[in-house]
Amino acid sequence: MSIAGNLSAIKEDLKSKKVTLVAVSKTFPVEAIQEAYKSGQRVFGENRVQELVSKYEVLPKDIEWHLIGHLQTNKVKFIAPFISLIHSIDSLKLLEETNKEALKNNRVIDCLLQIYIAKEETKFGLDFEETKALLNSRIYAALKNIRIVGLMGMATNTPDSAIVRNEFNNLRTFFDELKNSFFNNTPSFKEISIGMSGDYKMAVEEGSTMIRVGSSIFGLR
């Protein structure tokens, strides 16, 4: 199917649900993004800073760019002027650096904390205790140019959907715990970024508010 056709099929699945579709365009050329843009898509996700910046420079400025991949502190400065949402905050140090660069740009940058939910050593993310320690820290309390608007998780890469569903559910439960404690009376803390091409329907059933879909829109990488 075409990119436009793929997009409308996914939107049909999301019908009547408040779920943001992040079109993951990593490795695909600018022309593919333009095609999705023409059919109305405005939110795009990239996992590498350099690729994100070079696409940002040539594409329409009403695109909302999301950084979904691991971010090194020395690269924050390249995306700070324009990034809409960073999904992959996995340390206090990275959050501090994002705050510093946001301040330089006179912005408040929205961020998600990436939570470690998979049973794979290779995945990045904070565990539950590290997350609470971060939120309790004085350093975090002093950061005025970042806003934590939710959590992101990557499930184990396995064909066993029961494992994936359980991991999504764990993240959702942890989100609710934070919502009722640290983020009580904070309506902006509302996003749960879970679900990719293979599992977004299940993620939405488990409470996802933001799905990150690449290959089901653009094809195989």
Ligand X SMILES: *Cc1c(COP(=O)(O)O)cnc(C)c1O
Quick one: 143 or 152, whose CB is closer to ligand X?
152
- Among 66, 75, 172, 212, contact with ligand X (rule: CB under 6 A): 212
| 87 contact partners, CB below 8 Å, separation of at least 6 | 45, 66, 67, 68, 112, 114, 152, 193, 212
The length of the chain is: 221
Q: Are the beta carbons of 189 and 176 closer than 8 angstroms?
A: no
Q: Is 14 an interacting residue with respect to ligand X (CB under 6 A)?
A: no
Shortest Å, Cβ 164 to ligand X = 12
Quick one: 76 or 217, whose CB is closer to ligand X?
217
Q: Look up tokens 């991949």; give the residue.
A: 69
Q: Is 213 an interacting residue with respect to ligand X (CB under 6 A)?
A: yes
- Among 19, 196, 203, 210, contact with ligand X (rule: CB under 6 A): 196
Q: Which of 28, 6, 23 is closest to 64 using CA atoms?
A: 23
Q: d(Cα 111, Cα 108) in Å, to the nearest integer?
A: 10
* Eight-state DSSP code of residue 151: E
Quick one: 61 or 221, whose CB is closer to ligand X?
221
Q: Is 194 an interacting residue with respect to ligand X (CB under 6 A)?
A: no
Which parts of 17-46 interact with ligand X (CB under 6 A)? 24, 26
Q: Is 214 an interacting residue with respect to ligand X (CB under 6 A)?
A: yes
Stretch of 9-17, 98-106, 119-127, 190-198 contacting ligand X, by CB under 6 A: 190-198
Q: d(Cα 180, Cα 175) in Å, to the nearest integer?
A: 9
- Among 197, 201, 205, 207, contact with ligand X (rule: CB under 6 A): 197
Dihedral sign from CA coordinates of 9, 10, 12, 13: positive
Q: Is 69 an interacting residue with respect to ligand X (CB under 6 A)?
A: yes
- Token pair for residue 42? 């405005």
Shortest Å, Cβ 216 to ligand X = 6
Q: Provide the residue type at 101 as one letter.
A: E
Shortest Å, Cβ 24 to ligand X = 4
Q: Output the CA–CA distances (angstroms, integers) from residue 112 to 27, 39, 52, 189, 215, in the order listed.
A: 23, 27, 18, 9, 23
Q: In the stretch 142-181, what mask flags binding to ligand X with x, by CB under 6 A?
A: ------------x---------------------------
Stretch of 52-60, 133-141, 158-166, 193-201 contacting ligand X, by CB under 6 A: 193-201
Summarize as ranges the residues that interact with ligand X (CB under 6 A): 24, 26, 47, 68-69, 154, 196-198, 212-216
